[in-house]
Structure 1
């Protein structure tokens, strides 16, 4: 634990200097992808079956089983903007089919079974501004989150720009969703405890708002990773997969399909400098 803390301190001490001396980036336009009708319908269905967990009952254990079966999950923590200076009120986890709102004010603590999942490398956790969330969970709950995939980092890489961008703004930009669809009247309330989700009970609007962000954060991640950062890899894979389709002579194809054949390997761009160890 002490080694991890010292490492964090070393990084924090040099982060501002590193940013100031880093090479400037030439900003690129990010490839966007608006939600299709079936995706909007699926989103609506998911928002109608949000599971709120306030005790370690059957719903709690079913949620853990679902989360454990995933390869990647979307995680939202509120409030978290000021990291360790906040007290966790809710943790929202969206899996492929369900969204769970863990009410930490009711639960009191993050129980060991959920801690194990959050600290494990898998399932991977999609977060936005993970530096704030991980600071909160480390200092308030002694949790070290592993397997993090940060959508803010992905957005910075995709558009070659290190400017601030909230999760709502990133969703608006990449998924082409109006900001009006990513809000509820409670988050503009004059009552701070309502705005930061520490007041109880949580309203239906607040729950839908949190769930929608968690679900769309997952889609944001996919669009940034596969639609932008890994787009060249996908293009190469597409060309490679079609290598034999264009060849009509079966006998020639058969000759090129022997175990040692390198047919089609030329479409793998050497820019990626893939190295193969020689036994």
Structure 2
């Protein structure tokens, strides 16, 4: 196991890479003398397999180890440092911002400050992601499966859209199109299908569902010039991250996910991702390749959720919370009289946030989501 300056604690959610597996699980046991760890509820990201029993891993087996969720320990939690040889009883733990940095991260690639990188995917969220990855449907012909997918996608409020390859826009022919809902991931093999047909074109051009994409300028150029599709209802996660940061610099989808959601790049199986990038037209698509494509779409949807609700609408939600407590905490017996129909009680809490030369952010967000 390569040296990592981290402190292991029971209850942490870990991602562990071995020669054949990429496991997520909860740290149940550590023995520094015997050089082993035990993972509870282990899940193999590569094979999409949920193990029914805990897995014991020896240090020599472990190629890389990453903390992906670091719970606040109790005062008597046991901490184990991989730089030491003994366990200590301590209430301190590795800070979240430090613990979740990817080995491939660098200052110039950092998306958000430590204060802004405040999201930790809970066990429940990780389980939901696993469920989505278990429902990957690969579509190679316009059969019943294809039409059911279109019906499902059409009724969604928002979906993630990933196309490969689009790095050079119209210069590359389409290999796959991935659309992820909150329940299912659909991989449309465009090489096998031969084209993007009329029903799909209509769906892509409609304002609903909203399409969460990354680097929309490349994707739109590709769709327009390769398939005659004018993509509608765009939410660009690159634009969103740039607005939140106030800085414009190149950043791939995986880099945005890695830095904003604190998800290590290992989750995307870098070797397979590189192979997909270098040879996107290889068929048949392997199970691992389909999983990588699905993960990109699922995490893109999660990235949209975080950026929109934790950052772009943060002021709005704060005002909703303050306004909602206008009456409930008062012990004044006459308070119900303030609730008459034309009462303006609490209105003082609703404030527009202006920046010089800019419209209120709530106005901007409202416009973003108008049809």
TM range, normalised to the smaller chain?
Answer: 0.7 to 0.9
- Aligned residue for 2:334, secondary structure, equals helix
Q: SS of 1:135's equivalent?
A: helix
Q: Secondary structure at the match of 1:266?
A: helix
Deviation of 1:270 (Å): 3.3
Residue deviations 1:28-79, cap 9 Å, x none? 7334312110111111122122000011111111111111110111000000
2:157–2:209: 8 Å Cα contact kept in structure 1?
yes
RMSD: 1.8
CA distance in 2, matches of 1:262, 1:79: 55
Structure 2 residue aligned with 1:209: 292
Over 3 Å counting, the alpha-carbon distance change for 1:31 and 1:237 in structure 2 is farther
Per the alignment, residue 348 of structure 2 pairs with 266
2:192 matches 1:110:
no
1:174 correspondence with 2:174: no
Q: Quote the offset at 1:135 in angstroms.
A: 0.3
Pairwise CA distance, 1:187? 2.8
Matched, 1:253 2:339: no
Matched with 2:207 is: 121
Residues 181-196 of structure 1 mapped to structure 2, 5 A cutoff: 181-189=267-275, 195-196=278-279
Larger helix percent: 1
1:222 is displaced (CA, Å) by: 1.1
Equivalent runs, 1:137-148 vs 2, <5 Å: 137-148=223-234
1:229 counterpart residue number: 312
1:14-29 to structure 2, matched below 5 A, reads 29=113
1:93-108 aligned within 5 A: 93-108=179-194
- Give the CA deviation at 1:194: 6.8
For residues 307 and 217 of structure 2, the distance between their equivalents in structure 1, rounded to whole angstroms, comes to 19
Gaps of 5+ in 1: 1-26
Higher relative contact order (CA 8 A, sep 6+): 1
* SS of residue matched to 2:160: strand
Question: Is 1:81 aligned with 2:167?
Answer: yes
Contact 1:31 1:227 in 2 (8 A): no
Note if 1:72 corresponds to 2:72: no
* TM-score (norm. length: structure 2): 0.63
Unaligned runs of 5+ in 2: 1-110, 355-359, 364-371
* Pairing 1:61–2:161 present: no
Contact 1:187 1:196 in 2 (8 A): no
Q: How far 1:106 sits from its partner (Å)?
A: 0.6
Deviation digits for residues 225-273 of structure 1 (CA, Å, limit 9, x no counterpart): 1111211111111111222211233x52321111111111111123356
Q: Which has the larger radius of gyration?
A: 2
